[in-house]
A and B are shown apart, each in its own frame.
Chain A
Amino acid sequence: MPVISYREALRAAMREELKRDEKVVLMGEEVAQFNGAYKVTEGLLKEFGPKRVVDTPISEAGFIGLGIGASMLGIRPVMELMFWSFSYVAFDQIVNNAGNIRYMSGGLINCPIVIRGPANGGTNVGATHSHTPEAILASHPGIKVVCPATPYDAKGLMKAAIRDNDPVYVMENTILYNDKGEVPDEDYIVPLGVADVKRAGTDLTIVAHGRAVITSLKAAEILEQEHGVSVEVVDLRSIRPLDEETVLASVRKTHRVLLVEENKPFCGVDAQVAYLIQSKAFDDLDAPIHRVSSIDAPQIYCKRLEDQQLPNPARVVAEALKVLA
């Protein structure tokens, strides 16, 4: 099976969907001639031309609103935000329009859009460029949110997102863009709402999404080698819809849970997961649910400190040992 990067996997997904459905259009800042600020869309302008791959001005509210309006007539725009941090200038369009039009029309309309881009810290770019808004967006009924952690999931979820007839927001990660993994050549999707057990174990369940999955897998290795603990890592993959069953099944098996996220703690994704677990698997818990989030402050600039602000394997291991006490 080919081994390709997360970036290439996203590109492959978009290429395949551009080929498959002539209504699919890529839009965003620098996606065409510049080949993408992070080269995710490299080569696509050349292959598909300027009608299918469109450079937009720096005008998020404008072009995202345009994409939503076009989607009402059946166009399927895949709109790139150079950083999800830029979504806030288009918040009204992203949340009020895309999220509500179906409901307010009593089901007469749907908006089959995808908004994609990196949602991550850890790149030394400061507080206004390092947001992870998956929880904020997922809190709006009408919106779907996915967070692929591996190249395989990136391609599968992106294709599923593009084919989905509702607004799907894809949280990528610039640090993961270079990660390599096995990705099938053929057409496949990862359905929304299906989590994945990335590592099976018996003593502790770690639930994570996005890059926190990779961090947790590293921590799980350390816990096994140095502490003899068998850790199960559940990758949510999809935030809304959320695969509750896979999470609960793991908790019922191990009885101890650690949640890991790159979100800030207050009302992050893990706050919802913690509620879910204590609500539906209370009697299976042998310890309170613990959580490792980013340290609760705007993203710090100093790189060495940012690496500690984000969950890292050391912090995850330390917290895991507390859960196991």
Chain B
Amino acid sequence: MAEIIDMPKLSDTMSVGTLVKWNVKEGQTVAFGDILGEVETDKATMELSCTVPGTILKIYAPAGAQLPVGAPICAIGKAGEAAPAPGQAAPAPKAATPAIPESTGIPCVPPAPAASAAPATQSDGSRAKVSPYAKRMAEKAAINAGALAGSGPGGRVVARDVAAAASAPAVAAPAGPVNVAVAPPADGKGIQPDADVPVGGMRQTIARRLLESKVTVPHFYLEVEVDAAPLMAMRESLNKRLAEAAGADAVKLSVNDFILKASAEALRRVPAVNASWAGTSIRQHSAVHLSFGVALEDGLVTPVIRDAHAKTLKDIAVEAKSLIGKARSKKLTPNEMSGSTFTVTNLGMYGVTGFFGIINVPNAAILSVGATIKKPVVDAHDRLVVGHRMVIGLSGDHRVVDGANGAQFLQALKQLLEEPALMLI
């Protein structure tokens, strides 16, 4: 049975070898240990020693050939035997070595079920230090651990802090969603499919933040009714002017733009409302960064206009429009969505006459604007006339904003909206 001799692995780093010279010829008889030739490796030139006694049937690699380790170089067998073709090696190993099976005897610790990924954030937005156990307790109790004051080293929130928060009466932790079995429609035709609609990231975040706000911030509510006629007149006249100047490209001022500008000016007059609760202090903000609600298909975003107190009505309008566009195309950057000091929401376009929003933590208040409707009003001369009235609600964080401050703010806002010229001074 002929044996094919391969280029041998003569050093542990060798991958190719050069058959420098042959000492034997085809047809020659060789014994174990005879030197067949010389092979040059990466390290040295070594003698190729015969390991199969017999007759050289065929030399595959001519002198000078460089071949990889394992390539056939010659065949040795019984004299007169046919030399095998080099591809035709000795019978292939009967059983292929099976791939190492996946099973391991080593017990693997299964990955822990993914807990909610969002790190707890403290009221100033930095990553809160919460012990793993406290975090687990807080999640069970639906408490925002990061909003708690930590009594552990370095301000770490620990179990006792969560336990204290959980037993505090004001914050009755709402239970998780209660799945009440609901009977299907008797006529078989429902108003929508019975289904569990998965909740995406945005809605999760909205849900979490609003619950947090409702549960941890002591809301109180004030309402004011504004005569919107002067505002509407000014809007119409300004828009006409803008159109004359720039034509189709003209900026169109919306009612909301006026409200934003007026809010910034009202805050300038009652700056106490432009603040945040910081646990052991109230953070006053020197800038007014206004956020406003933009309704999207899957939820609400609140882009932020920075330094609204220093921007003109037109600036605000342009920026608002741009932000709305970005919001709708989901191109808002995190910077454009955070850092507000005051929020304005408006459901007037839906005909809602008045409402009170949930505070956008860490703001101290949120303004909720309703539709302008025609209604009978009593004028300055006690006559019954047709009025154009807009109801504006203010939800305030009572830790930061007292009733009086809130009232003063709304008073200022009303004045500015009913006499827009006041915004000039």
Contacts and interface: CB of A to CB of B under 8 A. Distances in A.
B131 A286 contact: yes
Contacts of B112: 282-283
Interface in B117-176: 131-136, 152-153, 156, 158-159
A11 B385 CA distance: 110
B109 interface: yes
Contacts of A19: none
Contacts of B132: 282-286
A287 B129 CA distance: 11
A325 interface: yes
Contact of B159 (A279, A286, A322, A325): A286
Interface in A276-325: 279-280, 282-287, 322, 325
A283 B136 contact: yes
Interface residues of A, number: 11
Contacts of B135: 283
Contacts of B136: 283-284
B109 A286 contact: no
Size range of the chain B interface in the assembly:
10 to 19
B152 A285 contact: no
A325 B153 contact: yes
Given A255-B133, A255-B159, A282-B132, A287 B152 contact: yes
Instruction: Report which residue of A280, A283, A285, A286 has the largest number of chain B beta carbons within 10 angstroms of its beta carbon.
Output: A286
Contacts of A280: 109
Contacts of A286: 131-134, 152, 158-159
A283 B133 contact: yes
Contacts, number: 32
Contacts of A322: 153
Contacts of B133: 255, 283-286
Interface in A69-116: none
Interface in A197-249: none
A255 B160 CA distance: 11
A216 to B, nearest CB: 22
Instruction: Report which residue of A279, A283, A284, A285 has the largest number of chain B beta carbons within 10 angstroms of its beta carbon.
Output: A283
B47 to A, nearest CB: 34
A106 to B, nearest CB: 15
Given A282-B132, A325-B152, A325-B153, A287 B158 contact: yes
A167 B134 CA distance: 44
A322 B153 CA distance: 9
A287 B109 contact: no
A285 B134 CA distance: 8
A322 B152 CA distance: 10
A320 to B, nearest CB: 14
A3 B134 CA distance: 45
Nearest to A278: B132
14 contacts: A255-B133, A283-B132, A283-B133, A283-B135, A284-B132, A284-B136, A285-B132, A286-B132, A286-B158, A287-B131, A287-B152, A287-B158, A322-B153, A325-B153
Given A284-B136, A286-B152, 5 more contacts: A282-B132, A283-B136, A284-B132, A284-B133, A287-B158
Nearest 7 CB-CB pairs, A to B?
A286-B133, A286-B131, A283-B132, A286-B159, A283-B136, A325-B153, A255-B133
